[in-house]
Amino acid sequence: MATTVMAGAVEGVDGVEVQVEVDLVRRLPRVTVVGLPASAVKESTERVRSAILASGLDFPKQRVTINLAPADVRKDGTAFDLPIALGVLAAAGVVPEDSLLGVMAVGELSLTGALRDVPGALPLALLARQRGVRALILPETCAGQGAVVPGLNVLSATNLSEVVDWLNGKDTLKKASFVAAPLPAHAGDLADVRGQALARRALEIAAAGGHNLLLIGAPGSGKTMLASRLPGLLPPMTFEEAIETTRVHSVAGLLPEKVGILEQRPFRSPHHSISPAGLLGGASLRPGELSLAHHGVLFLDELPEFSRGTLEQLRSPLERREVVIARSAGAVTLPASCMLVAAANPCECGFWGHPNKPCRCGDSALKRYRQRLSGPLLDRIDLCVRVDPVESEELFCDRRRESSAQVRTRVISARRAQTERYKALPIFNNAMLDGPACREAAQATPAGLRLLRDSMERLSLSARACDRVLKVARTIADLDGVARVDVEHVAEAAAFRAQDSVDAQAGL
């Protein structure tokens, strides 16, 4: 009769239950793994054999058949090593089968029997709680991820022998605990930024409403410095947001050892040579940079230098706030609710519109530069800001400027108003509003609506762009602490939108 051990696989960022069935038959010794295993799972038999022998136990000298059910789901990764080993030992009578009831085991085995870290421990822990297991066994190095899940009994182990002794009632396993990821030593303060009053205001609005932002300016004008200060303005993550963010990083295997949860919003800044698979997720159905920035910031520096094909694939995910990847291995949906912050030069030489340095680009060069970014992509950006070079008087001025903490206080207050407003909806900030919900939430005055209509005609805005102006106006009103969107809020929001229409910002 086959012995069954509960295990789990990861699809996208979700855990999927897998039953490891082990059967021993009195025939010539041989180990067979069935159930659509990938190469890493097929190789597990040799690791399991060596780990069992190194732990001072006997590997059965019989035919061993291992089935991973359901058989139509592809199994990948090394997390099946521990449940396969326990199934073999239970089938051989080394551990009682009853002791495995309600136990879920996950872990990679070394040839010495030591347990190693595996990616996706947090999604598997969420699955274990959903299935109501009595205990989840994880390697000590990633057990902290499982300990984050409330109401789940997570036990950590360092090797196979410890797990076998616990199942036989000879010893106990340590209950797992978690630590939060350490905060960066120096995230940068907005007080370090000289001048750039308009860009600072745009950062505050973007942080308060979760809006996408484009910074356009000459080299050295401070675009990257401004973008790097944005995480310091964002409100702290809620526990639910932290779980969702940590889950993505857990699947990607990016969590530091023994860290259970991320408390800092992610700030991802991929190089412009990144491929579409690296940005959105590849054939392995693992998260890309867009998903790794979930509930945080995706910063694309030198935006026109990214390949056009890569950027065009951002259009749908930015709108839907999720990435759907369909491959021959299957289809998964990855979360991608993040702020897009991009920086770009106004032209190839970078000095179009510079007060002191002439632009060396001809009309043809400007046209080529303009064609690198499509109108539909730019239409999905809420705020566009021209970042001019800082004057020397401002650069060396000792005047005290607002710190990130001061601005963050206003941002948190605006986000709190949004949380209260959307408490009955699956919406966390103004940027997530769709058309009808946006108009309802704005509660715009008649004068504000008239100005919005005039702005749409004067700036030739699309319906999507018009809704985005209204979203930004709603955020500005939240920063002012007022319930209704009025003329001044629409005027400021439209002014940020108008900046991408002035000669297309010299090519953008």
In a domain, 75, yes or no: yes
Cα–Cα separations (whole angstroms), residue 365 to 352, 353, 368, 369, 371: 12, 15, 5, 6, 10
pLDDT of residue 220: 83
Q: Is residue 185 part of a domain?
A: no
Bin 397: left if φ > 0, else alpha if -120 < ψ < 50, else beta: beta
Name the percent of the chain lying above pLDDT 70: 94
Q: Which residue has the higher pLDDT, 424 or 298?
A: 298
Residue 502: the pLDDT is: 39
Write down the pLDDT at residue 328: 66
The residue among 133, 150, 177 that closes a domain is 177
Domain count, the chain: 2
Same-domain pairing of 161 and 218: no
Is 182 among the domain residues?
Answer: no
Look at residue 186 in the predicted model and tell me its pLDDT.
56
- Final residue belonging to a domain, choices 150, 177, 204: 177
- Domain of residue 124: give its range: 3-177
pLDDT tens for 162-185 read 999 999 999 899 999 888 777 665
Q: Which of 117, 147, 177 is the last residue of a domain?
A: 177
- pLDDT for residue 116: 94
User: Per this entry, what is the length of the chain?
Assistant: 508
The stretch 469-476 carries a mean pLDDT of 94
Is residue 184 domain-resident? no
> 116 and 7: one domain?
yes
Do 156 and 25 belong together in one domain? yes
pLDDT value at residue 465: 86
Residue 165 placed within a domain: yes
Q: Where are the alpha helices (DSSP H) in 293-403?
A: 308-312, 315-320, 363-370, 375-378, 392-395
* pLDDT of res. 173: 93
In a domain, 132, yes or no: yes
Pair (342, 461) in one structural domain: yes
Domain CATH for 495: 3.40.50.300
pLDDT at 71 over 60: yes
Q: Do 427 and 496 share a domain, yes or no?
A: yes
Co-location of 338 and 485 in the same domain? yes
Please name the residue that has the structure tokens 């509930």: 295
**pTM score of the predicted model:** 0.89
What is the DSSP-derived secondary structure letter of residue 432?
Answer: G
Are 150 and 250 in the same domain?
no
Residue 403 lies in a domain: yes
Report the pLDDT averaged over residues 325-354.
83
CATH number, position 64: 3.30.230.10
- Tens of pLDDT, residue by residue over 397-409, are 767 778 889 999 9
Q: Does residue 143 sit in the same domain as residue 194?
A: no
- Quick one: tokens of 464? 């999507």
SS3 of 62, please?
coil
Residues 157 and 132 in one domain: yes
Do 299 and 408 lie in one domain? The reply is yes
Alpha-carbon span 319 to 77, nearest angstrom: 32
Residues 123-134 have pLDDT tens digits of: 999 999 999 999
- Report if residue 183 sits inside a domain: no
Q: Are residues 239 and 168 in the same domain?
A: no
Residue 504 confidence (pLDDT) above 50: no
Q: Which of 232-236, 349-353, 499-503 has the highest mean pLDDT?
A: 232-236
Q: Could you tell me if 98 and 231 lie in one domain?
A: no
